[in-house]
Structure 1
Amino acid sequence: MAQTVREKIIAIIAEQAMLEPSDVTETATLEDLGIDSLGLVESIFAIEEAFDIQVPFNANEPEASEFDISSVAAIIRAVEGLLAEQKV
């Protein structure tokens, strides 16, 4: 069965946080999950690879990025937006 965007992102984040996917909630921040800046960058790379997209993310200034990393749900929405743009 094919995974949804949400399921893939949660799996990537869970792997980075060394948690079970069921332990990752959409309201959690990466900080809540224990993901540091290096883990964030690795998560972004994994998301890019999994979805064959280019994430507009500046690791040196994540707060200035167009890619919202404020919560798991925000990351899901951002990836869905990038995928929708790719189809246009």
Structure 2
Amino acid sequence: MSDVHDRILKIIADQAMLEPAELKSEMSPQDIGIDSMGLVESIFAIEEEFDISVPFNANEPESSDFDISTLGSIIAAVEKLVAEKV
């Protein structure tokens, strides 16, 4: 697991009021109790943490290039954005 992975999990876990160890990559945000507002707050926190811009439209999440279906897909997408930034 990368540092980026761990930091993303911590942000998401804090939003869900869970411990990072309780989260699994196949879980969806809904599985851990994050609603659409919580997801937006998590994305803002991720953007701030990594100084990146996440291509996510909360009004039309299905038309976004950012896959939010599972925690694993969110982590993979953020890792890609972070790697592209360097």
TM-score for the superposition, normalised by structure 1: 0.92
Runs of 4+ in 1 over 4 A off after TM superposition: none
Identity rate of aligned residues, in percent?
61
CA distance in 1, matches of 2:46, 2:81: 11
Q: Would you say how many aligned residue pairs link Structure 1 and Structure 2?
A: 85
Question: What corresponds to 1:54 in structure 2?
Answer: 53
The one-letter code of the counterpart of 1:47 is I
Identify the residue that residue 75 of structure 1 maps to in structure 2: 74
2:18 aligned partner: 19
SS of the residue 1:80 aligns to: helix
Distance 2:69 2:78 in 1: 13
Q: Normalising by structure 2, report the TM-score.
A: 0.94
Structure number having the greater helix percentage: 2
Structure 2 residue 8 is the aligned partner of structure 1 residue 9: yes
* AA at the equivalent of 1:27: E
Which ranges of structure 1 fall in alignment gaps of 5 or more residues? none
Task: State how far apart, in whole Å, the 1-side matches of 2:32 and 2:71 are.
Answer: 10
Gaps of 5+ in 2: none
1:30-85: per-residue Cα shift (whole Å, max 9, x none)? 01000000000000000001101000110101111111111111011101111121
Aligned residues: CA RMSD: 1.0
